Amino acid sequence: MNILIIDDDIDASELLKTFIEQSGHTVLQAYTAGDGLKELASKKPDVVFLDILLPDANGLDVLKQIKSRDKVTPVIMVTGFKDAENVVRAFREGAFDCLLKPYNYDYLKTDILGKITTPKQK
């Protein structure tokens, strides 16, 4: 699968990228919402990991934009803050799941990557 990570936290993004690549997937990275939306449009990834707090946009608003264009691609929201209101809003906007930093890699492997095993039809 091709997976896009949109996260301005470079260290967290690199750790997630390394884990996903070790699981056999290809990873694209963007550090701003604007760059992420460009990558999404041009590369059409199978899965998106999207940070809630980005320097140029609220990730929840970006999620809404993504879902208005593409209802099929799973979007997993990531955040370093335990904020129930944002998590609830993410699910209402169509997020597949939400992950807290630092990542629980067992959960990521079994409950996220393990459930999204085949690329969507393009």
The Cα 94–Cα 36 span in angstroms is 18
For helices 33-43 and 59-69, what crossing angle results, to 10°?
20
Structure confidence by residue, pLDDT tens digits, 71-92: 999 999 999 888 889 999 999 9
DSSP class of residue 43 equals H
Q: Where are the beta strands (DSSP E) in 31-116?
A: 47-51, 75-79, 97-100
Would you place residue 122 in the very low, low, confident or very high pLDDT band (cuts 50, 70, 90)? very low
Question: What is the second-level CATH architecture of the domain 2-113?
Answer: 3-Layer(aba) Sandwich (3.40)
Q: Which residues contact residue 16 at a Cβ distance below 8 angstroms, ignoring those fewer than 6 apart?
A: 5, 7, 49, 78, 103
Average pLDDT, the chain: 92
41 membership: H or E segment, kind and range:
helix 33-43
Residue bearing the bigger pLDDT, 113 or 119: 113
Structure tokens at 98: 């939400």
Would you place residue 117 in the very low, low, confident or very high pLDDT band (cuts 50, 70, 90)? low
Domain range annotation of the chain: 2-113
| % of the chain at pLDDT higher than 70 | 95
